Chain A
Amino acid sequence: MSRSNAALALLNHNLARHPDKIAYYCGDQALSYRGLDQASRSFAQLLRKRGVVPGERILIVLPDCPAFPAVFLGCLLSGVVAVAVSATLTEEELAYISADCGARLSVTHAILAAPCAIVSDKDMQIICDDNGFREDSISPDDFDNPYHPSADDFAYMLYSSGSTGKPKGVPHRHESLLLPCDLVGKPLLGITGDDVIFSTSKFPFTYGLINSLAFPLSCGAAAVLLPGKPDPCAIMEIIGRHKPSIFFSVPTLYTQILLSSADPEIKLPMRLCCSAGEVLPAALFEEWQRLTGMEIVDGIGSTEMTYHFISNTPGLAVAGSAGRLVPGYRARIVDDNGNNVPEGSEGHLLVSGPTGSPCYWNLPDKSAETMLPDGFVRTGDIFVERGGFYYHRGRSDDMIKVGAQWVSPLLVEDALQSHPAVTDCAVAAVSAGTLTRPGAFVVLNAGAEQSPALERNLRLHIQARLPEYMCPVSFKFMEELPRTSTGKIQRFMLRENSSQL
Chain B
Amino acid sequence: MDAFNELKELMVKIGLKESVVNEVDPTQPLAGRVMDSLAYSAFLVAVEERYGVKIVDRYALKLKSLNDFQNFINHGS
Q: Say yes or no: B45 contacts A262, CB within 8 Å.
A: no
Contact mask A232-264 → B, CB, 8 Å, 1/0? 110000000000000000001101101111100
Q: In the docked arrangement, what's the CA distance between A434 and B15, Å? A: 22
Interface status of B46 (Cβ within 8 A of chain A): yes
Interface status of A463 (Cβ within 8 A of chain B): yes
- Contact residues on A (Cβ < 8 Å of other chain), bracket: 35 or more
- Contact residues on B (Cβ < 8 Å of other chain), bracket: 20 to 34
A262 nearest CB across to chain B (Å): 5
B46 nearest CB across to chain A (Å): 7
Q: In the docked arrangement, what's the CA distance between A448 and B28, Å? A: 38
Interface status of B44 (Cβ within 8 A of chain A): yes
Name the A residues within 8 Å of B58 (CB-CB). 283
Of B14, B33, B38, B61, which is within 8 A of A255 by CB?
Answer: B61
Of A232, A258, A281, which is within 8 A of B57 by CB?
Answer: A281
Interface status of B8 (Cβ within 8 A of chain A): no
Contact mask A392-433 → B, CB, 8 Å, 1/0? 000000000001000000000000000000000000001011
Name the B residues within 8 Å of A365 (CB-CB). none
Q: Say yes or no: B36 contacts A231, CB within 8 Å.
A: yes
Residues 428-451 of A at the B interface (beta carbon under 8 Å):
430, 432-435, 437, 439
Q: Say yes or no: A452 contacts B13, CB within 8 Å.
A: yes
Interface status of B76 (Cβ within 8 A of chain A): no
Residues 443-473 of A at the B interface (beta carbon under 8 Å):
452, 455-456, 459-460, 463, 468-469, 471, 473
Q: Say yes or no: B31 contacts A432, CB within 8 Å.
A: no
Query: Known contacts A452-B13, A455-B13: does B38 contact A262 (CB below 8 Å)?
Result: no
Q: In the docked arrangement, what's the CA distance between A230 and B32, Å? A: 11
Q: In the docked arrangement, what's the CA distance between A460 and B12, Å? A: 11
B9, B27, B28, B29: which has the most chain A beta carbons within 10 Å? Answer: B29
Of A262, A283, A468, which is within 8 A of B37 by CB?
Answer: A468
Query: Known contacts A256-B37, A430-B45: does B14 contact A283 (CB below 8 Å)?
Result: no
A435: nearest chain-B partner, CB-CB: B41
B16: nearest chain-A partner, CB-CB: A456
A438 nearest CB across to chain B (Å): 10
A233, A255, A460, A473: which has the most chain B beta carbons within 10 Å? Answer: A473
Of B29, B54, B57, which is within 8 A of A259 by CB?
Answer: B29
Of B15, B36, B57, which is within 8 A of A460 by CB?
Answer: B15
A462: nearest chain-B partner, CB-CB: B15
B9: nearest chain-A partner, CB-CB: A452
A403: nearest chain-B partner, CB-CB: B37
Of A233, A435, A469, A501, which is within 8 A of B32 by CB?
Answer: A233
Q: In the docked arrangement, what's the CA distance between A334 and B33, Å? A: 45
Name the A residues within 8 Å of B41 (CB-CB). 432-433, 435, 437, 473
Name the A residues within 8 Å of B9 (CB-CB). 452
A412 nearest CB across to chain B (Å): 13
A463: nearest chain-B partner, CB-CB: B15
Interface status of A284 (Cβ within 8 A of chain B): yes
Q: In the docked arrangement, what's the CA distance between A276 and B32, Å? A: 21
A232 nearest CB across to chain B (Å): 4
Name the A residues within 8 Å of B37 (CB-CB). 252-253, 255-256, 403, 468-469
Q: Say yes or no: A456 contacts B14, CB within 8 Å.
A: yes
Residues 1-50 of B at the A interface (beta carbon under 8 Å):
9, 12-15, 27-33, 36-38, 40-42, 44-46, 48-49
Interface status of A368 (Cβ within 8 A of chain B): no
Residues 116-148 of A at the B interface (beta carbon under 8 Å):
none
B28: nearest chain-A partner, CB-CB: A262
Q: Say yes or no: B15 contacts A473, CB within 8 Å.
A: no
Q: Say yes or no: B29 contacts A456, CB within 8 Å.
A: no
Q: Say yes or no: B57 contacts A456, CB within 8 Å.
A: no
Contact mask A211-237 → B, CB, 8 Å, 1/0? 000000000000000000001110000
Q: In the docked arrangement, what's the CA distance between A455 and B45, Å? A: 13
Name the B residues within 8 Å of A262 (CB-CB). 27-29, 64-65
Q: Say yes or no: B15 contacts A456, CB within 8 Å.
A: yes
Query: Known contacts A469-B38, A501-B49: does B60 contact A433 (CB below 8 Å)?
Result: yes
Interface status of A287 (Cβ within 8 A of chain B): yes
Q: Say yes or no: B44 contacts A283, CB within 8 Å.
A: no
Q: Say yes or no: B61 contacts A432, CB within 8 Å.
A: no
Interface status of B55 (Cβ within 8 A of chain A): yes
Name 28 interchain pairs, CB-CB below 8 A, sorted by A: A231-B32, A232-B32, A255-B37, A256-B40, A258-B61, A259-B64, A260-B32, A260-B33, A260-B64, A261-B29, A262-B64, A284-B61, A432-B45, A433-B44, A433-B60, A435-B41, A437-B41, A452-B9, A456-B14, A460-B15, A463-B15, A468-B37, A471-B38, A473-B38, A473-B42, A473-B44, A474-B42, A501-B48
The 7 lowest CB-CB distance pairs between A and B, nearest first, are A260-B32, A283-B57, A433-B60, A259-B31, A432-B41, A232-B32, A473-B42
Q: A282-B57, A473-B41 are in contact. List 4 more A-B contacts (CB 8 A).
A: A233-B32, A284-B61, A437-B45, A459-B14
